Structure 1
Amino acid sequence: MAHASHTPIAAGPQDMLQPVIDWSAQCVDGFLRAQKLQLDALEVQSEIARRAQAQVTAVASELWDEWIAHWGGGAPIDA
């Protein structure tokens, strides 16, 4: 019966650097996913602010029209 040789083959530079390359790729991927989540959250927050601003503008316009109609002596101009 022949015995197989158990002599380890020397690892090349690429084999030694592969774990570092894999780790850095995973870190970069994680950072990019985190940044995308942050940008998505900022986009949602900006949309909420835009809607709130539009609502506040509409309420202010309505209150101004009511004030003009009551205290200003007539109907608002855009009525």
Structure 2
Amino acid sequence: MLTITDSYKPGSKWVNSHWMSLNGKRDEFSRKDLYSLEKLSPLFTRSKINTIIDEIIEYVSQWQVLATEYEVPESLIDEVGSNLRLDL
């Protein structure tokens, strides 16, 4: 099972300054940016990167259904949902 977590606090200078950076970016990543991982290890092939991204998008796309099932407050469901990046 794959688990993804990160810190999120809108408007926090501290959290924003500690985000992951990739290809000199801290936001608006594309698949092309993630393909740069190919240079780090033979484990990171373009095909493997695409598979990982697609699996994560599939799981994270279930946020609203799972959050509702586990009785997450509606305001939090909406806030998290509005910040999911499912268009890589």
**TM norm structure 2:** 0.28
Structure with greater helix percent: 1
More RCO (CA 8 Å, sep 6+): 2
**Which TM-score applies when normalising by structure 1?**
0.30
